[in-house]
Amino acid sequence: MQTEATLAQADVSELDLVKRCQAGDTEAFDELVTRYRTRIFGMIYNMVHNEQDAWDLAQDSFVKAWRSIKRFRGHSSFYTWIYRIVMNVTIDWLRKKQVKGGSEFDDAIQLKEVDPASKTVPKENALPYETMERSEIRAQIDNAIAQLSPEHRAVILMKEIEEMQYHEIAETLGCSIGTVMSRLFYARKKLQNLLKDVYENI
Amino acid sequence: MRTFEEKWTAWLDGKLSGRELTEFEASLPDKAAAEAEKADAKKLGTLLKREIGTYDLANEEFFSRQLREKIVRESTRRSRKRDSAVATWWTVRRLLWTGTASLAVFLVFAIFVMHDKNPAEQSQYLTQILNARVDSVVSPNATISMFEAKEDRVTVLWTEGLQSLPADYAAK
């Protein structure tokens, strides 16, 4: 378990790497890439569900980060800073690709009356959790997430997987905290509808 | 003021407290159903975290190597761009500004120099002489010439054929 001193040391070390990058040191950037490549690739893959696309987007994100490294002021951690670039690149790519289903979801359309106790409707062809292969579960989850808009996908993944706070998500996506919370509301509702049979048996 | 969706999300994530929490829970028509919904959302979160998690990057070293090559190409392209930027430092805009500034400096100097080189005012006497009328009857062949040495500030008035000076000539 990392102590506070270790974490502080790591931060200083990272800041040192960033300063070297800003001076044009590509080896320092290489070190930062090594630290975050897996996490960033994983996040992008969860957004786009295609390895090759995730690979290309991760590469593009790091190249963009290299180009704009001199603009990093240290107001946030390096990871938060690069994460923002990653999200912008990925969401832009998804918008352009117009993922079917996700693009149909309109933030402006709000449910007028939302029954807070509304139950989700179970699917007709329910399968017992025990008989589902792991890959099937993953496929169902991927399919459900793919039906969210890029923005909703981003908030749900950042909240549930990355465990980011509302203000961190807002800062990364460049929107208000209220927007983050609103998007979480609709993303969770939709996923609950689509995945009820899967999580109910947990 | 928070919307219902914002409050619900905050309530679900345990971020509501105090009066806001009490008021929100009081506003729920069916608290038991809402709690069941909350439990479902928690299960969803657990499911996502467990099944999605981190997706491993295969060929990590190849990823880094490929990225390194892109960055080296990027850096090379940037330094070439910088070199050509030096060569083309003289943009059209810069040329116009420099030209305008040079012209302004030239005009300023020209005005000062010309002012310095303006001839000294004519002497009061010369003006009187030149303005005086020569009687063409008395002095039909009178000529007046003026010679000036500017560096020495000497002006010589040479008259010839003048029989008499005009009556109105006088130093005042």
pLDDT of A170 above 50: yes
Look at residue B114 and tell me if it is in a domain.
Answer: no
CB contact under 8 A, A37 and B52: no
Look at residue B118 and tell me if it is in a domain.
Answer: no
Look up the domain containing B38 and give its range.
4-57
Nearest to A117 among B34, B54, B57 (CB): B34
Look at residue B50 and tell me if it is in a domain.
Answer: yes
CB contact under 8 A, B36 and A200: no
Contact A69, A22 (CB under 8 A): yes
DSSP code per residue over A86-99: HHHHHHHHHHHHT-
pLDDT for the residue B88:
67
Nearest residue of chain B to residue A24 (CA atoms): B75
Look at residue B17 and tell me if it is in a domain.
Answer: yes
More confident site: A76 or A104:
A76
Is the C-alpha dihedral spanning A92, A98, A100, A104 positive or negative? positive
Which residue's structure tokens are 């980011």?
A164
Contact A188, A156 (CB under 8 A): yes
Percent of chain B with pLDDT over 90: 39
More confident site: B88 or B154:
B154
Burial of B162 (0-12, 13-18, 19+ CB in 10 A): middle
Measured in angstroms, the CA of B115 and the nearest CA of chain A are apart by 54
Among B57, B72, B98, give the residue marking a domain's end.
B57
Look at residue B19 and tell me if it is in a domain.
Answer: yes
Inform me whether the C-beta atom of residue B12 falls under 8 Å from chain A C-beta atoms. yes
Among B17, B39, B57, give the residue marking a domain's end.
B57
Look at residue B102 and tell me if it is in a domain.
Answer: no
pLDDT of A65 above 90: yes
Query: What are B59's two structure tokens?
Result: 């060929």
Q: For A83-127, what is each residue's pLDDT tens digit?
A: 999 999 999 999 998 755 544 444 444 333 344 444 444 444 445
Look at residue B76 and tell me if it is in a domain.
Answer: no
Measured in angstroms, the CA of B2 and the nearest CA of chain A are apart by 8
Could you give the ipTM of this predicted complex?
Answer: 0.75
Domains of chain B: total = 2
- pTM flag (> 0.90): no
Q: For B19-70, what is each residue's pLDDT tens digit?
A: 999 999 999 999 999 999 999 999 999 999 888 876 778 899 999 999 999 9
Percent of chain A with pLDDT over 70: 76
Percent of chain A with pLDDT over 90: 55
Measured in angstroms, the CA of A127 and the nearest CA of chain B are apart by 16
Look at residue B150 and tell me if it is in a domain.
Answer: yes
List beta partners, residue B159: B144
Euclidean distance between CA atoms A23 and B96, whole angstroms? 35
Euclidean distance between CA atoms A78 and A69, whole angstroms? 10
More confident site: B159 or A190:
A190
Most B CBs within 10 Å: which of A25, A30, A135, A199, as the mutation test of the B interface? Answer: A199
pLDDT for the residue B165:
66
Nearest residue of chain A to residue B53 (CA atoms): A161
CB contact under 8 A, B46 and A199: yes
